[in-house]
Amino acid sequence: MRFKRREAALAKAIDIRQTDSGADLAAHSNNRPNKAAYKGLYQFAKPHRKTFLAMFGCIIVAIAADLLQPYLVKVAIDDHLMAGDRSAKTLFIIAGIYLLLSVLGFVFSYLQNNLMQLAGQSIVASIRKKLFRHITRQSMSYFDRVPSGSLITHVSSDTESLNQFFTSVLLSVLRDGLTLLFIIALMFQLDVQMTLYCLVLLPIIALNAFAFRSYMRRTYQMARTNLSRLVAFVAENLAGMRIIQVFHQEREQQTQFDEKNQLYFRSNMREIRTNVLFNRSFEMLGNLSVAFVTWLGGNAVLGESIPFGVLFAFITYIRQFFQPINNISQQWNTLQSATVSLNRIWNIFDTVPEVQDAEKVRNVDVSAVKGKIDFDGVKFGYNDGIPVIHKLDLHVQPGEMIGIVGTTGAGKSSLISLLCRFYEVQEGHVRIDGTDVRELPQETLHRLIGLVQQEPYLYSGSIIDNVRLFDETITREQVIEACKLVGADTLIGRMKDGYDTRLSERGSGLSAGERQLISFARIIVFKPKILILDEATANLDSHSEQLIQEALNVVSKGRTTLVIAHRLSTIMGADRIIVMRNGAIIEEGNHRELLRRGGYYEELYKHSQGSNPQLAAGAVGGRASKKSCGVG
């Protein structure tokens, strides 16, 4: 059941990712640039204005150094060679200056590229940082709506596209734009009439670029769309490999993959062909112009209206003229995808978390909190509006242990989510020690609550770091003490590096029970006043369950504890057990009282006792909360 749900969620994520990034560009490319997004981007760029200024200076020097070289040759030809000045010294000086200009061009181009990369990467790093912080502050309802796959794309490839905006588009517009202007100015300086003739070429170039532009954009988008479809297909297959193999779907999947692969290959080839054609057409235009200038200028030289050196410089400049135009028009696709990425990123920045601290929060002394919990007339439903908790009342005394059982979808995890204020109640109040959770700063609230889930999250890092969650104020000794208390010390002692053993992501390499013990140790070191176990024993064998039960007895001491149980054995010893169905409490009492009552709890108990354990598990258990608050 759980496996199926995860698969469905994954398929949904892939599906959305496809629309988000696949049919993606085509769909988003019509997005008009969002003014607020550009303003926001400018705010990120502002602190780097000195770097931009320095880069601009480098661009000017680099361009000047490059463009003065043909001019220098013209001086050598016209003012010296043709003028009869045969002095080797002058030629030597000119050659020296030429060399110096080449070195200058090289050095300043290098600096200009590095400065642009520095500015671009720094801006993108700070956007990424803010984006991650903004995402982590979103409410749970946001994560219900937005698949994690697309958030990963936003943080990784969308920010990278923005980097391309600076390092490719902006750099090209500045450098190539200025180069063009300088070339035109130099050409005018050499010969006004010939320059005017050459400028006749501009409309032809513009027409060529315009004719190619929309076709190039389409081929680019088609290739990106087909690539993301291919990637989504592979991701879907990897995730559902079990089903594919069990149902012998390998050949069918291979056929589908081949089709998608072919489509991508063809669209990619079309894109490459168009790009090559565009580049070569520019080259051809360049060659035609050289022929035109040679003919025009040659006649002028023969007629002695311009010197030979001017013709030489002109031919060199006209050759250089096409490169910047070509470069700038190549930036169109990059600009398109950067705009889409910019809009996507700023859509996230514009999302205000639904759950926020109140304007006037009530600051409480965490150490003085007793842990009394009250649900008063609580009504709640998710975005779809269907109520999942109906006018629920529940009052828990400090230090009391409450077991929560019920049918699948009864609202057990939702109740816990409301206590953690992952979602807002629609009616009623959730209070801790008499204070509405909406009045508490979220940070304080989450320090009051420790959550142990069915699959505790472990990070890549040492066991010490995983217990203290990288909080250096918690000492190694405190961590070891906590692990001893929950009975994790022996198993850690058996590991190669003991407490310094590095766990891989999600703690693979440890059994489910061992991971749970580590998350119990977290509770001890962080000392929350309220402890929540959300189906923490669901995945455990009976030996591990026994270990966890013992650890639970230790960590729940002196804490208000709510235990959502998959197995009744976990909650049989609770002070009080509540039985939920359809978002309401239908039975309440301790184990004996509930058995005596002979209601739904007794029915569950009978199932769990034996005749049909699977039915018992299915009826009582279900899904673990996906969220976490506090520690655990």
Ligand X SMILES: Nc1ncnc2c1ncn2[C@@H]1O[C@H](COP(=O)(O)OP(=O)(O)OP(=O)(O)O)[C@@H](O)[C@H]1O
DSSP H or E stretch at residue 16: helix 2-17
3-state DSSP assignment of residue 503: strand
Rounded to the nearest whole angstrom, what is the least distance from the CB of residue 8 to ligand X in the complex? 12
In contact, 422 and 355? CB cutoff 8 Å? yes
Rounded to the nearest whole angstrom, what is the least distance from the CB of residue 450 to ligand X in the complex? 19
Rg of the chain in Å (alpha carbons): 35
Rounded to the nearest whole angstrom, what is the least distance from the CB of residue 4 to ligand X in the complex? 13
Residue with smaller CB distance to ligand X, 281 or 582: 582
Place of tokens 């309440």: 588
Residue with smaller CB distance to ligand X, 530 or 580: 580
Rounded to the nearest whole angstrom, what is the least distance from the CB of residue 486 to ligand X in the complex? 25
Residue nearest to ligand X (CB): 622
Which sign, positive or negative, has the C-alpha torsion 279, 281, 282, 283?
A: positive
**Cα–Cα distance, 522 to 527 (Å, whole number):** 8
Residue with smaller CB distance to ligand X, 433 or 588: 588
C-alpha dist (Å) from residue 285 to 206, 291, 357: 11, 10, 64
- List of residues contacting ligand X (CB under 6 A): 144, 382, 388, 406, 408-414, 621-623
Residue with smaller CB distance to ligand X, 514 or 534: 534
What are the structure tokens assigned to 168, written together? 């490719």
Distance of CA 292 to the CA centre of its chain: 53
β-pairing verdict for 387-396 and 373-381: antiparallel
Rounded to the nearest whole angstrom, what is the least distance from the CB of residue 421 to ligand X in the complex? 15
Which candidate, 223, 226, 280, places its Cα nearest to that of 257? 226
Rounded to the nearest whole angstrom, what is the least distance from the CB of residue 565 to ligand X in the complex? 10
Rounded to the nearest whole angstrom, what is the least distance from the CB of residue 375 to ligand X in the complex? 14
**Cα–Cα distance, 565 to 403 (Å, whole number):** 7
**Cα–Cα distance, 504 to 190 (Å, whole number):** 68
In contact, 307 and 301? CB cutoff 8 Å? yes
Which candidate, 623, 618, 279, places its Cα nearest to that of 454? 623
DSSP H or E stretch at residue 592: helix 591-597
Residue with smaller CB distance to ligand X, 144 or 602: 144
Residue with smaller CB distance to ligand X, 172 or 414: 414
What are the structure tokens assigned to 52, written together? 């931009």
Residue with smaller CB distance to ligand X, 161 or 413: 413
Residue with smaller CB distance to ligand X, 356 or 408: 408
Rounded to the nearest whole angstrom, what is the least distance from the CB of residue 240 to ligand X in the complex? 22
Residue with smaller CB distance to ligand X, 406 or 513: 406
Rounded to the nearest whole angstrom, what is the least distance from the CB of residue 566 to ligand X in the complex? 8
What secondary structure does DSSP assign to 95-124, as a single string? Answer: HHHHHHHHHHHHHHHHHHHHHHHHHHHHHH
**Cα–Cα distance, 632 to 620 (Å, whole number):** 23
Rounded to the nearest whole angstrom, what is the least distance from the CB of residue 401 to ligand X in the complex? 19
